Structure 1
Amino acid sequence: MKYTSTRGRASALGLSAAIAAGLAPDGGLYVPQSLPKFTPQDFGDCADLPAIAARLLEPFFANDVLANELPTICREAFTFPSPLNALKTAGDHVLELFHGPTAAFKDFGARFLAACMRRLRAQETKPLTIIVATSGDTGAAVGAAFASLPGFRVAILYPDGRVSPRQAHQLGCFGGNVRALRVAGSFDDCQRMVKQALSDEALRAQAPLGAANSISLGRLLPQMAYYADASLRHFREKCIQINFVVPTGNLGNAVACVLARACGLPIGRIVLATNANRVIPDFFSGRDYAPQPSLATLANAMDVGAPSNFERLTWLYPDAAQLRREFVAQSVDDAGITATIRARYENYGEVFCPHTATAVHVLEGLRAGGDRDSWAVVATAHPAKFEGIVEPLIGRPVLVPPSLAELLARPAHVDPLANDYAVLRAILASD
């Protein structure tokens, strides 16, 4: 399997080379030259998530140096569950992706990427710096995955004052080879500087860099696995496809679901839920794609005004009219988020984080419009990470899962960073 750039102006690479590069030289994102096709029966002997992941990803790793290691990588990375549970409302489910070390869905891709990179860098003597922009959850997942890993350093950029207090603590709690930088700007500013660094050939010659955002195939591809697992479990039990409402900001999690469906998994409709940042909903309502400065919202991990993975959507569906026919995207403002969190607890005893609440709100709208199909909302983070928002709305404390409690008990340190690439470059060059 070879991988090409979404912009079509870079040489095709094998998977390991594409993972190591992160961003293509032309500024595009790597995508597979073709997609494998599966049927549910192809997974008949796969009993758990690691086995399903290995079967699904095998064609993507074909003829790569990591191919023989793939089953072991999957077992090493996916050590926690992704349960598909029924909600109290008929036909509704929740795909819980927050049972990993940092209580967010990003743990799946980050741990898989680290398992790949550890093998790819085994013979290297010069440390590799993993640089990542985060709107809240990615940075902690990457920090946890690479913490204390020999031969790696991590630089986490996050927007100062625009993540929850517990998210901020997580980002700074690793120490050692993981450095957290609070940027005087937005997530889009952090993402811009990361892309500048990854495109800076002179810097990369001096200080090797790697990517860990969803621009990296090592993060994106494994995220298909939990959609495959959930859809197969539902199909085996009900003999019907399941539909997903995916809360999204940078579109990585959503594109993973789209890719899983394109590979033949029993997934029906995919609806995208965003917060008040309306770039994606505006496009799907018929407007031109027009990135905007991001707005700060309660669902801060989705505060993205220039979603990188939009390029991968347009690679899959190059005709804009066809792309708009394939998906629906809806925006939920802070008032809708708070009302949903409060009402679902009062009516059903269910507790959701602000991001998951956007998906629940959108699903409730589908039900109100008469939709009776089988749906799952994707729960991207544990509500305990947003206790300052959730607890006042439900009137009680949210139990902190043990893995998150362990991180919160550590001391944390974060360094300030000006919204200036030259300053970041100097830091990366000196490490």
Structure 2
Amino acid sequence: MKFYNLKENDEQVSFAGAVKQGLGKNQGLFFPENIPSFSNIDELLALPLVERSVKILYPFVNEDLTEAKLTKIVTAAFNFPAQLQPINENRSILELFHGPTLAFKDFGGRFMANCLQAFSKDKKITILTATSGDTGAAVAHAFHGIENIRVVIMYPKGKISLLQEKMFTTLGGNIETIAIDGSFDDCQALVKQAFDDRELAEQIGLNSANSINISRLLAQICYYFEAVAQLSRQKGHSKLQDIVFSVPSGNFGNLTAGLFAKAMGLPIKRFIAATNANDTVPRYLATGEWSPNDTVATMSNAMDVSNPNNWPRVEHMLKSGIVDKDCVTSFSIDEEQTQSTMLQLAKLGYITEPHAAVAYKALQYSAKDDEFGVFLGTAHPAKFKDVVESTLGQPIGLPKELADCASESILSVDMAADFAQLREFLLANNG
């Protein structure tokens, strides 16, 4: 299968090309020439996660990977579960934080790392990526120690939780981290500038591991299938056509993957894109005007994004009819609502963190009584220990993954949101 540039349609590459290149010309996102549709959904749902994921992903990658090679990659990448936990009779959370960095991005990060390692053929690569929290850790741990791959991660200084920061800034080796004096959107803008600098890109073998990379998105399709598979096995749940997913949304890669799953035949009725105060998309869907505001810092910091990179893919799917344009609604949830929802869930016996709380609140606003609502738990509550403890008024323990890095020193360098400085850094350390 070929993947084409949404901005420059004549640019078409294979899956391997899209993974290695990251972004297309004019900062265009790659998109598959067609989305495979499965008629044997019940048979797929009966399979284990890895075996099902291979069948889902193979049509996208068969030009570059044999089924045996893909199986090896998926087995190595998806070696942890996605767990569906009931909240009440009609609501469940899909826990996506059981991987090594306790966040949903472990699925995409590990899949991309294994693919890129298979495709690199010993050519030196520099991965430049921006993170609003969880991407950094997922990418850093997925690529740590891989020969010939240098990883440079930028993040907004002082605007992610300390434990999030520690998970990717303490590794060293081939993982370099930069604390940018600015917002996540500033970090994303620097990544785009680097890709536009063709001389720089070629000299350092530039790639990106943000959710703009198609491999990240394809991997995330698989846990939507896993959620529906678990629901289909639960006694008494027969109305699979009435499933509504509420997706905590920042850069909108997670929602994009869900729309892919729906287009492939997975019985999902609709999606709720849940945002925090950074409400560009809810306002756009209401007014038709795309007008990003300055990014606002919130307790759900991984969603502090005003100009989401993946929105062009979502809009293409909605406008081209790949999915029904009415299958996405969006709500903005404020800080007070987020905190009250965390308390409400705690009273129901479930401890969660701000991002999932935003998704649950949006689900409450939108889901009807005859719809089964699933909201995504994208990170372990302990990654936001301070805000969870202050909100709930009770201590929570640290899992081993966080305890191991909590006392380590941060190795980041500080930098202004200035491309000239970034360029100098990338070239100076390109050994």
Shorter-normalised TM range: over 0.9
RMSD (Å) for aligned C-alpha atoms:
1.7
Counterpart residue identity of residue 282, structure 1: R
Change (3 A) 1:60 1:394: same
Q: How does 1:357-372 map to 2 (within 5 A)?
A: 357-366=357-366, 370-372=368-370
Change (3 A) 1:79 1:110: same
Change (3 A) 1:52 1:410: farther
Change (3 A) 1:374 1:44: closer
Counterpart residue identity of residue 313, structure 2: R
Instruction: Answer with 290-299 or 420-429: which moved more.
Output: 290-299
Distance in 2, Cα, partners of 1:9 & 1:166:
41
Quote how far apart the aligned CAs of 1:408 are: 2.5
Distance in 1, Cα, partners of 2:121 & 2:296:
41
Q: Deviations over 1:167-219 (max 9, x none)?
A: 12123111111011000110000000011112211002211111100000111
Counterpart residue identity of residue 75, structure 1: T
Distance in 2, Cα, partners of 1:420 & 1:411:
25
Residue 94 of structure 2 corresponds to: 95
Q: Is 1:178 aligned to residue 167 of structure 2?
A: no
TM-score between both structures, scaled by the size of structure 2: 0.94
Quote how far apart the aligned CAs of 1:323 are: 6.5
Structure 1 counterpart SS, 2:386 = helix
Structure 1 counterpart SS, 2:194 = helix
Q: How does 1:263-274 map to 2 (within 5 A)?
A: 263-274=264-275
Change (3 A) 1:66 1:409: farther
The question of whether the paired residues in 1 share the 8 Å contact of 2:141 and 2:168 is answered with no
Instruction: Answer with 29-38 or 290-299: which moved more.
Output: 290-299
Structure 1 counterpart SS, 2:319 = coil
Q: Is 1:280 aligned to residue 281 of structure 2?
A: yes
Distance in 2, Cα, partners of 1:114 & 1:342:
37
Distance in 2, Cα, partners of 1:265 & 1:232:
10
Quote how far apart the aligned CAs of 1:324 are: 5.2
- Please identify runs of 4+ aligned residues in structure 1 that moved more than 6 A: none
Counterpart residue identity of residue 21, structure 1: Q
Counterpart residue identity of residue 423, structure 1: Q
The question of whether the paired residues in 2 share the 8 Å contact of 1:281 and 1:331 is answered with yes
The question of whether the paired residues in 1 share the 8 Å contact of 2:45 and 2:52 is answered with no
Residue 3 of structure 1 corresponds to: 3
Quote how far apart the aligned CAs of 1:220 are: 0.9
Distance in 2, Cα, partners of 1:122 & 1:286:
48
The question of whether the paired residues in 1 share the 8 Å contact of 2:109 and 2:142 is answered with yes
Change (3 A) 1:209 1:67: farther
Q: How does 1:313-324 map to 2 (within 5 A)?
A: 313-318=314-319
TM-score between both structures, scaled by the size of structure 1: 0.94
Gaps of 5+ in 1: none
Distance in 1, Cα, partners of 2:106 & 2:343:
27
Q: How does 1:44-83 map to 2 (within 5 A)?
A: 46=47, 48-65=48-65, 68-83=68-83
Structure 1 counterpart SS, 2:26 = coil
Instruction: Answer with 138-147 or 240-249: which moved more.
Output: 240-249
Distance in 2, Cα, partners of 1:319 & 1:60:
20
Change (3 A) 1:45 1:361: closer
Distance in 2, Cα, partners of 1:66 & 1:295:
45
Instruction: Answer with 378-387 or 168-177: which moved more.
Output: 168-177
Quote how far apart the aligned CAs of 1:123 are: 3.2
Counterpart residue identity of residue 258, structure 1: L
Quote how far apart the aligned CAs of 1:399 are: 2.1
Q: Is 1:18 aligned to residue 15 of structure 2?
A: no
Distance in 1, Cα, partners of 2:66 & 2:334:
43
Residue 306 of structure 2 corresponds to: 305
Distance in 2, Cα, partners of 1:122 & 1:19:
13
Counterpart residue identity of residue 247, structure 1: P
Percent of aligned positions that are identical: 37
The question of whether the paired residues in 2 share the 8 Å contact of 1:170 and 1:412 is answered with no
Quote how far apart the aligned CAs of 1:27 are: 1.4
Distance in 2, Cα, partners of 1:156 & 1:421:
14
Residue 292 of structure 2 corresponds to: 291
Distance in 2, Cα, partners of 1:330 & 1:420:
33
The question of whether the paired residues in 1 share the 8 Å contact of 2:155 and 2:187 is answered with yes
Gaps of 5+ in 2: none
Change (3 A) 1:381 1:291: same
Quote how far apart the aligned CAs of 1:67 are: 5.1
Please, which of 130, 147, 158 is the counterpart of residue 133 of structure 1? 130
Residue 105 of structure 2 corresponds to: 106
Counterpart residue identity of residue 378, structure 1: L
The question of whether the paired residues in 1 share the 8 Å contact of 2:181 and 2:417 is answered with yes
Q: How does 1:27-426 map to 2 (within 5 A)?
A: 27-39=27-39, 40-43=41-44, 46=47, 48-65=48-65, 68-87=68-87, 89-124=88-123, 127-237=124-234, 238-241=237-240, 242-318=243-319, 325-345=326-346, 347-366=347-366, 370-426=368-424
Quote how far apart the aligned CAs of 1:8 are: 3.1
Change (3 A) 1:10 1:203: farther
Counterpart residue identity of residue 97, structure 2: F
Counterpart residue identity of residue 94, structure 1: I
Counterpart residue identity of residue 168, structure 2: L
Quote how far apart the aligned CAs of 1:349 are: 2.1
Distance in 1, Cα, partners of 2:380 & 2:301:
14
Structure 1 counterpart SS, 2:330 = strand
Structure 1 counterpart SS, 2:269 = strand
Q: Deviations over 1:255-288 (max 9, x none)?
A: 1011111100122211110000110100111331
Change (3 A) 1:160 1:10: farther
Quote how far apart the aligned CAs of 1:401 are: 1.9
Instruction: Answer with 223-232 or 66-75: which moved more.
Output: 66-75
The question of whether the paired residues in 1 share the 8 Å contact of 2:246 and 2:271 is answered with yes
Instruction: Answer with 151-160 or 169-178: which moved more.
Output: 169-178
The question of whether the paired residues in 2 share the 8 Å contact of 1:284 and 1:327 is answered with no
